């Protein structure tokens, strides 16, 4: 019997349940800021949050949003993908990212894209070697003085 399940997180309670795992990737966020950003992104930007459960325990989480740009066309942008640090290298990330691929295909999106921090060499190897991603660009960021 398969003990894995994937479920979309929609309520505040469900979103907060994913915080301990998401916080391993987004260490700069506290619970309140995290909840506010997720709910605003869901309302304004079509952000979707999904969790992978093993025997009822949340072990990995992904957040993504469908987008349309001139460069990529219709695609899904993976904003967040993280497996609990105590359960990495067990196939959970592959299962969850494959779910995103299926979701994108089933909803008429041509590709899936993401960015990954320069220091995350293990993640880069996973995306390129295990998941078949191509490295197509660098992402640049400028913080503005508001």
> How confident is the model over 54-66, as pLDDT tens digits?
999 999 999 999 9
Q: Does some domain include residue 142? A: no
Q: Does the residue 67 lie in any domain?
A: yes
Q: Quick one: pLDDT at residue 89?
A: 84
Q: What residues contact 96, with CB distance under 8 A and at least 6 apart?
A: 6, 50, 52, 60, 61, 62, 81, 83
Judge whether 145 lies within some domain: no
The pLDDT assigned to 48 comes to 98
Query: How many domains does the structure of the chain reveal?
Result: 1
In a domain, 139, yes or no: no
The Cα 91–Cα 89 span in angstroms is: 6
Give a yes or no: residue 140 inside a domain: no
**pTM across the whole model:** 0.92
pLDDT value, residue 1: 43
pLDDT in tens, 65-94: 999 999 999 999 999 999 999 998 899 999
Domain that holds residue 14: 4-130
Residues of the chain with pLDDT under 50: 1
Kindly give, in sequence order, each residue whose CB lies less than 8 Å from that of residue 68, ignoring residues fewer than 6 positions away. 74, 75
Residue 143 resides in a domain: no
Here the CATH number for the domain that contains residue 48 is: 3.40.630.30
Let me know: does 21 contact 82? Beta carbons within 8 Å.
yes
């Amino acid at each position: 019997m398969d003990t894995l399940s994937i479920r979309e997180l929609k309520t505040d309670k469900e979103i907060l349940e994913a915080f301990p795992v998401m916080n391993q990737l987004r260490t700069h966020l506290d619970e309140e800021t995290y909840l506010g950003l997720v709910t605003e992104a869901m309302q304004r930007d079509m952000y979707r949050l999904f969790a992978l459960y093993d025997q009822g325990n949340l072990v990995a989480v992904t957040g993504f949003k469908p987008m349309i740009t001139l460069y990529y066309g219709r695609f899904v942008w993976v904003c967040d993908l993280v497996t609990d640090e105590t359960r990495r290298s067990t196939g959970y990330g592959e299962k969850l990212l494959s779910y995103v691929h299926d979701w994108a295909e089933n909803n008429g999106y041509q590709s899936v894209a993401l960015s990954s921090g320069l220091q995350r060499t293990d993640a880069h190897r996973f995306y390129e070697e295990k998941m078949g991603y191509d490295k197509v660009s660098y992402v640049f960021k400028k913080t503005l003085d508001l």
